A and B are shown apart, each in its own frame.
Chain A
């Protein structure tokens, strides 16, 4: 069996710029939504439809993913009076958003439907927590989990820590460099009224917070919240008639990168993750490279997952991720800001989707909801990114979203402004 590096990574280029994201929607990021995941999903999908300027009759496809919670597409379609021509609910994790973008493009390309909405709904704080606390921690341990959970190796942080620890060993990466990701994202979130955590924290704050599992401190971990998000995909042609500037999809990639998608085996060093392999499809498909990207959206379940993705997708050399995330490059006002909404670390956790929504808004040039209001009552873009300032990135033309599920699977998407 060939390893991923040996497989044919040439992909058809005719899908480049053929599809666009035309609507995005979400519910507030809370802890204690007070409603079901079905209700959350319904409101997020409705908000996305309205954002696009569409009606229920225009949406004929729905995709979603979950792992143990959420709701199903037919329920939400029924609640909103949608008659779907295609739907699919899959089991999935953090790399599902970008992978389902590819699926949405595929079903439209195949003629199964014309406009597809992708949603993720989760009471990720008050009900099923990804970290495995509550009911999940008491579930019987059998099968593959006898080689992980039986050893107290269960939460995402515990699972991924081996990779982080080995990266420090291999490359001399320091905890302070990685903590800079949280400090940076918290500064971004302070300009985001939607963010659950708006308070700015420093590198010292991160390092002084209690250890959860070495090398992860409490503030290295993302904020679990209750919320739903939704994204609408249609053809670039059809998108011309809609409300917003088109966020054109340059490329998507979804790749399994090891002989086994678990934490034990690797094709390559364990401090290298799936982005290293997904990028072999992503960049040639997109026709642009990391140097062309204005804004990145990493899957920041933890500070170090951001560092690893940025490194393995080629935004810096392997082993230099610690420097890249701490030298100011990823800050608002820096060369290539990352997670301008605050991401999972500060805005909220919707399993990969909220960073895509943020990048769509960056491409529309309308991330103005926190800009100062002038005497005429209108928002003023300041670009000084100080507390209470804007977070719109100047001349944002190309964005990249980097998904993460485990070190063995990676999905990513590149978009550009029309």
Chain B
């Protein structure tokens, strides 16, 4: 799997420049002040062209997930089953409406950024508290990923798909 950020993709170039430094930044609208993900050239809430980059804390809870057993990407085949998580950041949760959140994708990984082994995959579900870590995937390119937040209070039993 070859990953690349195109030169003219200014928003993603800026996003991944921060990621390469293992620092999570999101665009913040210059007008309505709402942050957004993934990077774009316009504010989806107010159409403003103005935006700046602000540091955002990489902490949140799993909003939904899928557990992939049949990998499409050859690079993932040796890691099945792997988890893909949609995480509600604590930052800006419930804005601009009660149903909204900054939802950031990532895989479940170990604290050192490796795709989680099956025994770890089986412990995570909706509600699990996670924190961001970075996986260095190629020179100059790091992907934000999610690992279980050891310091957070976890739900008694995160919601898991019922048929195991």
Chain A residues at the B interface, C-beta cutoff of 8 Å: 1, 131-133, 137-138, 140-144, 146-155, 158, 161-163, 165-166, 168-169, 174-175, 207, 210-215, 259-260, 262-270
Are A146 and B3 neighbours in the complex by a CB distance under 8 Å? yes
Closest partner residue, chain A, to B6 (CB atom): A142
Kindly list 8 other residue pairs between chains A and B, CB separation below 8 angstroms, not including A165-B66, A265-B103.
Answer: A141-B3, A143-B9, A146-B143, A152-B72, A152-B107, A162-B63, A166-B63, A267-B97
Q: Give which listed residue, A138, A148, A165, A175, contacts B74 with CB less than 8 A.
A: A138
Number of interface residues of B (CB under 8 A): 51
Are A162 and B65 neighbours in the complex by a CB distance under 8 Å? yes
Q: Given A140-B4, A143-B12, verify A264-B45 contact (CB < 8 Å).
A: no
What residues on B are CB-neighbors of A132 within 8 Å?
72
- Which of B62-82 touch A at CB < 8 Å? 63-76, 81-82
- Give chain A nearest CB distance to B102 CB in angstroms: 9
What residues on A are CB-neighbors of B14 within 8 Å?
none
Are B161 and A214 neighbours in the complex by a CB distance under 8 Å? yes
Q: Give which listed residue, B2, B38, B64, B97, contacts A163 with CB less than 8 A.
A: B64
Give A161 to B105 CA distance when docked, in angstroms. 13
Are A162 and B38 neighbours in the complex by a CB distance under 8 Å? no
Q: Give which listed residue, A1, A138, A141, A269, contacts B47 with CB less than 8 A.
A: A1
- Give chain B nearest CB distance to A410 CB in angstroms: 18
What residues on B are CB-neighbors of A214 within 8 Å?
66-69, 81, 161
Are A142 and B69 neighbours in the complex by a CB distance under 8 Å? no
Query: Could you write out 5 A-B pairs with CB less than 8 Å apart?
Result: A140-B2, A162-B63, A165-B66, A166-B63, A215-B163
- Give chain B nearest CB distance to A208 CB in angstroms: 10
What residues on B are CB-neighbors of A259 within 8 Å?
44-45
What residues on B are CB-neighbors of A262 within 8 Å?
38
Are B74 and A266 neighbours in the complex by a CB distance under 8 Å? no
Are A165 and B3 neighbours in the complex by a CB distance under 8 Å? no
Are A260 and B44 neighbours in the complex by a CB distance under 8 Å? yes
Give A264 to B47 CA distance when docked, in angstroms. 18
Q: Give which listed residue, B5, B66, B103, contacts A264 with CB less than 8 A.
A: B103
What residues on A are CB-neighbors of B81 within 8 Å?
211, 214
CB of B99 within 8 Å of the partner chain: yes
- Give chain A nearest CB distance to B144 CB in angstroms: 9
- Give chain B nearest CB distance to A118 CB in angstroms: 30
Q: Given A152-B84, A215-B161, A264-B37, verify A142-B64 contact (CB < 8 Å).
A: no
CB of B46 within 8 Å of the partner chain: yes
Are A153 and B105 neighbours in the complex by a CB distance under 8 Å? yes
Are A151 and B84 neighbours in the complex by a CB distance under 8 Å? yes
Are B99 and A175 neighbours in the complex by a CB distance under 8 Å? no
What residues on B are CB-neighbors of A137 within 8 Å?
72-74
CB of B106 within 8 Å of the partner chain: yes
Are B44 and A264 neighbours in the complex by a CB distance under 8 Å? no
Q: Given A142-B6, A146-B16, verify A152-B100 contact (CB < 8 Å).
A: no
Q: Given A147-B38, A266-B100, verify A152-B69 contact (CB < 8 Å).
A: no
Closest partner residue, chain B, to A271 (CB atom): B64
Give A149 to B72 CA distance when docked, in angstroms. 10
Are B72 and A133 neighbours in the complex by a CB distance under 8 Å? yes
Are B65 and A147 neighbours in the complex by a CB distance under 8 Å? no
CB of B139 within 8 Å of the partner chain: no
Closest partner residue, chain B, to A148 (CB atom): B105
Q: Given A141-B4, A152-B107, verify A158-B46 contact (CB < 8 Å).
A: no
What residues on A are CB-neighbors of B143 within 8 Å?
146, 150-151
Give A322 to B16 CA distance when docked, in angstroms. 41
CB of B1 within 8 Å of the partner chain: yes
- Give chain B nearest CB distance to A335 CB in angstroms: 28
CB of B86 within 8 Å of the partner chain: yes
Give A161 to B161 CA distance when docked, in angstroms. 11
What residues on A are CB-neighbors of B45 within 8 Å?
1, 259
Give A412 to B65 CA distance when docked, in angstroms. 28
- Give chain B nearest CB distance to A223 CB in angstroms: 16
Are B3 and A150 neighbours in the complex by a CB distance under 8 Å? yes
Closest partner residue, chain B, to A133 (CB atom): B72
Are B70 and A166 neighbours in the complex by a CB distance under 8 Å? no
- Give chain B nearest CB distance to A291 CB in angstroms: 28
Closest partner residue, chain A, to B115 (CB atom): A152
Are B6 and A165 neighbours in the complex by a CB distance under 8 Å? no
Give A162 to B81 CA distance when docked, in angstroms. 16
- Give chain A nearest CB distance to B11 CB in angstroms: 9
Interface string of B48-74 (1 = CB under 8 A from A): 000000000000000111111111111
Are B126 and A210 neighbours in the complex by a CB distance under 8 Å? no
- Give chain A nearest CB distance to B104 CB in angstroms: 8
What residues on A are CB-neighbors of B86 within 8 Å?
162, 263-264, 270
